[in-house]
A and B are shown apart, each in its own frame.
Chain A
Amino acid sequence: MAITLDQTIAHKQQSWLSAKLSSQTFWVLMAIALACLYLSFATDSFATQKNLYNITRNVSFVAIVALGMTLVIITGGIDLSVGSVLCLCSMILAVIMHAGYSIEIGIAAAIGTALIVGAFNGVLIAYLGFPPFVVTLGMLSIARSLAMVASNNTVVFEFGPDHEQLLALGGGAWLFGIANPVLYMIALALLTGFVLRWTKFGRHVYAIGGNEHAATLTGVPVRPIKVAVYMISALSAGIAGIIQTGWLGAVTTNIGAGMELQVIAAAVIGGANLAGGIGTAFGALVGAALIEIIRNSLGLLGINAFWQGAFIGGAIVMAVLFDRIRNLRQND
């Protein structure tokens, strides 16, 4: 029987399952599952409630920032300023609350700061045509310097009248004994995933990364979207900063130093493509989780902490290697 044109058009190229099986995120997830399984048997301390609580909480800070970073990476950009923006927002929150203002005012100021920084990055990149690398590298330096100016480079550990509320916000566990940062991470990941998959904005973010020129020609508002994406990235750093301040109970001007590289690593391990056009919210979480599992397991297995960088670096290369092999096979 001949296949009609309509049948050809209606045909799905791959099933849902085969699409999942061929994704980088899936294989990284498998690696995490295997590592967890192995560690549960090989050590007594891995599968304990306390260790799992710590792991999930530690993941959340990098993961939250990686969600924003993933959006930037999908558009084909990069944001190197997130670690410093996290520091600046934490410090603004700390200094304002230390001065006796309420937690609401502190959080509003921190978030406002993040949005301003993000808008500054975005406008320079989208409207003035600066390379994202250069603008955000500049902001990496500026934001941390501003944090030092704001605090006079001191440690802030007293947060005024709402001190306890701030500590509960970041350090508590309001639901089923899950650390609060993890709850925020899950909520933000669901939101990001929804936006990417189900909104016009998300669709346009992918389009810009796929072919910016085509997006412009077809009437996608490329510039406003790019500004929004850098604002979201800075916002995610700001949110992570607020939560981390609550958890740590103290802010130094070192907080978030070098974090941008971990965040980018998490996004890339989770399947985001630095060339743009590819990436998911779930991938950001998975990438952040793999990094944390590696760190945690080296400690539990008694391997010298100096090896951490080598293993995490190896994971970055391995994750992308799978992707390369698949592409090579497709091109043959």
Chain B
Amino acid sequence: MAELTYLQAISDGLRTEMRRDKRVFVIGEDVGVYGGAFKVTLGFQEEFGPWRVIDAPLAETAIVGGATGAAIMGMRPVAEMQFSDFVSCAWDHLVTIAAKQHWRAGTPIPLVLRLPSGGGFSGGPFHSQNPESSFAHVPGLKCVCPATPEDAKGLIISAIEDPNPVLFFEHKHLYRRIKAEVPDGRYTTPIGKARVHQAGTDVSVITWGAMVYTAEEAAQQLGDLSVEIVDLRTVMPWDKAAVLESVRKTSKVLVLHEDTRTGGFGAEIVATIAEEAFEDLDAPVKRIAAPDTPVPFSPPLEKAFIPQVEDVVAGLRELAEY
């Protein structure tokens, strides 16, 4: 075990797979000489050479389309969007080709797309988004959103191993802020299995990504309330059984995410709880998410946009008192 930041854990997982499997290669903008905008692939080009750590032109379509073709030819590409926001330029190749090729043509696409996402540091409308809900809606794609260093390493390895296109949403605000013990060597974390971040009996918070820590802080402030925090870890597929189990245990649920509210993945979770655990509820399900606006730049605006600890505290109190 070593103490690693979330960012180091991603690097560690990726390096582990690249050393083990020569089919794995990295392609993206500034991933080589510069080591990536966030330095996830720092030192990779020296170790693996310029044809396994490929500095691409500023061409997201070519990066994702090219990674798709290489995957069909038996490679295991790990492509990087410099910011998850730029995946809009590669939407077509993910949604039109990579997501549908297996279902309609029987061709597996073992592709990983790394997507540095999330806000909290004045990145503004084009460097802060959390677009996982949009892609979770597309049959054929998998969406992974780790919250801890241990999961970040295990899930990047699982994503590379997976025979499908996997979108790996790595939260930028966790990169250097979150540090924890990470197992040495190679291990996988299953895609589609949630994790109980902390067990509790009064209220459940269903969340993922950076919001796991927002929920944790809120729970700490509510010492008298026993809060269970379920970290989904992956939103497609998502661990319905784990969510329903927690609902049945506490009977009061808060669904929390950093993405905007309407049509956000929380809506799917809430709908499923309504369909399958209505009888188990002691209060209406509560949802806390960002308002339906683009992500703002100025600190007071961004604070108003991203769900804050005090918002979650208020929400949990309301639920507890219902």
Is chain B a partner of chain A in the same complex?
no
Task: List chain A positions with a Cβ less than 8 A from chain B.
Answer: none
